[in-house]
Every structure is written in C-alpha cells, then in structure tokens.
Amino acid sequence: MPERNDTERLAACEARYQQLARDLSSIGVVASGSLALRSHRCGKPHCACGADPPRPHGPYWHWTAKVQGKTVNRRLSADEADLYQQWIANDRQLRHLVDELHRVAQQIIELTLATTRATTKV
C-alpha cells in the first residue's frame, strides 16, 4: 500500500469527522444509569417473602442512575425496561462517538499543524 501524504490523510480525517458529526446529530434519546432485575422482601409480617423458605417479591426491573449527585431508583414494567435498554444503548453510542470525535480531531490538529509548517517552514 502506498504511503499517503499528510494532505490526503487530513482529507480522510476530515471526512471521518463529518461522518461522526452526522451520526451524532441522529442519535436517539439517551439515558444514563443501568438496569437490573431485583427481588425484594417487603418486611410486612406474615408475607410470603419473609417465610421459610422465603418467596421474595419480583423480580422486577429497576433503573438506577446518579442524577445531580443523587442516586435515583425507579421500578419499571417489562415494556419500560425495553425502552430504557434502548436509551441506555444510545447513551453508550453517544459516548463512543464523542470519544472518536476527540481522537479524529486530535489527528486533524496534528496533520493541520504538520502541513501548515511544511508549507510555511516555521
């Protein structure tokens, strides 16, 4: 494979950067936090959850996240958990895109400086 010069590499990086920016603009709703299936014991006397052997309530889906420094926990139906799964996946995708955007931007910066210096002979 022939070695590409900085100008060609810069053009390729800029095209990639534009693609990432388009991907970012079409990202769906994002949610932080995580999902878990949990059972629990209510603690009420004579409830089956406290029997021997115990028969805990659930399991139920729970979404947990830090919101403004506080841990928020929400019990979800199975349908709501499906929605959250997608929103959380979108959030992962968003962070992946932003990381790659930073990486490509850094390459663009290095290549821009290199090509500028090659032509102006700093």
3-state secondary structure of 96: helix
When the beta carbons of 53 and 69 are compared against Zn ion, the nearer one is 53
CA atoms within 13 A on the CB side of 5: 3
Among 49, 94, 101, 108, binds Zn ion (CB under 5 A): 49
Does residue number 38 form part of the binding site for Zn ion (CB under 5 A)? Answer: no
Determine contact, residues 62/34, Cβ cutoff 8 Å: no
3-state secondary structure of 74: strand
For residue 64, the minimal CB distance to Zn ion (Å) is 21
Among 15, 42, 89, 109, binds Zn ion (CB under 5 A): 42
When the beta carbons of 44 and 121 are compared against Zn ion, the nearer one is 44
